[in-house]
Amino acid sequence: MHNVGCLNCKNNLCIRKVSVFNTLEYEDMLEIARMIGHREYKKGEFLCHEGDKTSMLFVVNSGKVKLSKFNIEGKEQILNIISDGEIFGEYYLFMDFEPYNFSAIALTDVKICTLVKQDMDYILLKYPKISHKILQEVSKKMIGAENLAQNLSTINTDSKVHYVLKELAQKYGTEHEKKIRLELPITREEMANYAGVTRETMSRKLSALEQEGIIETVGNKIIIINDIEYLEDY
Amino acid sequence: MHNVGCLNCKNNLCIRKVSVFNTLEYEDMLEIARMIGHREYKKGEFLCHEGDKTSMLFVVNSGKVKLSKFNIEGKEQILNIISDGEIFGEYYLFMDFEPYNFSAIALTDVKICTLVKQDMDYILLKYPKISHKILQEVSKKMIGAENLAQNLSTINTDSKVHYVLKELAQKYGTEHEKKIRLELPITREEMANYAGVTRETMSRKLSALEQEGIIETVGNKIIIINDIEYLEDY
DNA sequence: AGTAAAATGTGAGTCATATCACATTTTATT
DNA sequence: AATAAAATGTGATATGACTCACATTTTACT
């Protein structure tokens, strides 16, 4: 981790691209920008650890971050992937002394803006609209978490793999003539850790889908989904 | 389902026992009470179905409700159990036309108070404190959902069973001389559907725990946990 | 109280996935 | 460009939970 000055945001307001803040007046955004701390992390670095007690809001300015939990045997479960313009850690702003229940790990080199709880308390009081925006944000994530839980509870491994493909396609896919081009932000192993299967199983299931013509792989980082309906209908 | 008048709440303000509302002045609570709809459901009835598009806040006045998702094969995954004084459906107040992603089913005969989205919009505007309270509520549930997801991702069936016992103990257990008396609001099958295992596996694992002296069962509805530390340490 | 229905316990067998092992490919680093 | 490190693919095997079946117990209902 590397602390950098406010240079990033002076001319290029990071919070402007964050939906939680972007309905504010420019002057109000400037006020908030003054409270923001800036950090940079290299790929693979931890932004926070499960169990940490510091409460702050993380704004991803550039890059991607995964939120994960690790069980005793060290197995990772990815909960969410956060891209630039998105936030995380927001629910700890409303609970006192509750330790983080996840770790955040940089998937790429990232630039992060942070807001500490005390400042956020002030901001929420002064701009009640933001509360509502955050409620929308948390609500959406809640539905995501519950869908993930349902997916993980299935014994059907195929549908776990399909689920991850659908999730990634929705967030990182671009449609071209009924096909979806998916630029993967994560490795096969991480796809497995998101789906709740082993790396080997993920590898085998993707091969099978390619055999059937449902998907095509281009190297390791791109997947073309030929038949998204097949994945959805399953 | 059975619609009842406001009788329940005239003399006995249901929202008084709800943390989201109970810091308001009495007059304010009365104002809100006038907007409240009242319903009663028999055990087993659905309060809402996954896919429903009506958005309302449910307040459980008496009884217990489970929130579940069902996959295509009909397998149930219980997401949460809501007791009297608690609310659910709150995250749909902040999203437009988003269908429910769970079904709610009465575990006992229940009395429910409801607030429709339009009224809640007014209430949130007039009493901004409530937004903050709801944020706390949703944040807590978010952590619960993520913990559930992690639990379901484990291949270790023992730890899934332990997880459910710990969760239930925390909510429905009473401590007596280092032992925890747990009055179960759900059946073995539902415990299994919460843990993400089959009924048979749940049954066998509980028998094993009883063999080892970790727990004792008293009929089907009471479990005495002799060694909670064993479950926590695992 | 008596009967039907639901919930629970438990044995036997199957099978899909985790695990282990290792070759191969891709990516990162100097 | 060369080398090391990481990621990926794939075969063989084992294992443990799911499935099915049915006896038994508990609960609900008239």
pLDDT score of B4:
45
Overall average pLDDT of the B84-96 stretch: 93
Contact B131 A136 (CB under 8 A): no
Nearest chain A Cα distance for residue B5, angstroms? 31
State both tokens at B151: 């639990």
C-alpha closest to that of A208 among A158, A173, A167, A170: A158
DSSP lists the bridge partners of residue A216 as A224
What are the pLDDT digits (tens) for B198-229? 999 999 999 999 999 999 999 999 999 999 99
Instruction: List chain D nucleotides near protein: any atom < 7 Å from a Cβ.
Output: 7-12, 16-21, 26-27
Task: Using a 7 Å CB cutoff, list residues 114-173 of B near strand C.
Answer: 155
Overall average pLDDT of the B7-18 stretch: 69
Contact B154 A71 (CB under 8 A): yes
Distance between CA A30 and CA A177 in Å, rounded?
Answer: 42
| pLDDT level of residue B14 (50, 70, 90 thresholds) | confident
**Is residue A163 less than 8 Å (CB to CB) from chain B?**
no
pLDDT score of B6:
47
What are the pLDDT digits (tens) for B179-190? 999 999 999 999
Name the residue among A138, A149, A156 with its Cβ closest to that of B77: A149
For the cut 50, the answer to whether the pLDDT of residue B43 exceeds it is yes
Cα Rg of chain A, angstroms:
19
Q: Whose C1' is closest to the CA of B190: which nucleotide?
A: C7
Overall average pLDDT of the B141-168 stretch: 97
Name the residue among B139, B150, B156 with its Cβ closest to that of A77: B150
- Encode chain B in three state secondary structure: CEEECCHHHHCCCHHHHCCCCCCCCHHHHHHHHHHCEEEEECCCCEEECCCCCCCEEEEEEECCEEEEEECCCCCEEEEEEECCCCEECHHHHHCCCCCCCCEEEECCCEEEEEEEHHHHHHHHHHCHHHHHHHHHHHHHHHHHHHHHHHHHHCCCHHHHHHHHHHHHHHHHEEEECCEEEEECCCCHHHHHHHHCCCHHHHHHHHHHHHHCCCEEEECCCEEEECCHHHHHHC
Residues of B with CB below 8 A from A156's CB?
A: 73
pLDDT score of A10:
53
pLDDT score of B13:
73
Contact B92 A134 (CB under 8 A): no
State both tokens at A232: 């959805």
The answer to whether residues B104 and B51 touch, using CB atoms and an 8 Å cutoff, is no
Overall average pLDDT of the B31-51 stretch: 94
pLDDT score of A234:
81
| pLDDT level of residue B97 (50, 70, 90 thresholds) | confident
Could you state, in chain order, the average pLDDT of each consecutive group of 10 residues for chain A (234 residues)?
A: 50 80 91 92 95 94 96 94 96 91 96 94 92 94 97 96 98 95 97 98 98 96 97 88
By mean pLDDT, which of A195-204, B127-136, B142-151 is the weakest? B127-136
> Which residues neighbour B46 within 8 Å (Cβ) at sequence distance 6 or greater?
B103, B104, B105, B106
| pLDDT level of residue B72 (50, 70, 90 thresholds) | confident
Instruction: List chain C nucleotides near protein: any atom < 7 Å from a Cβ.
Output: 7-12, 16-21, 26-27
pLDDT score of A11:
55
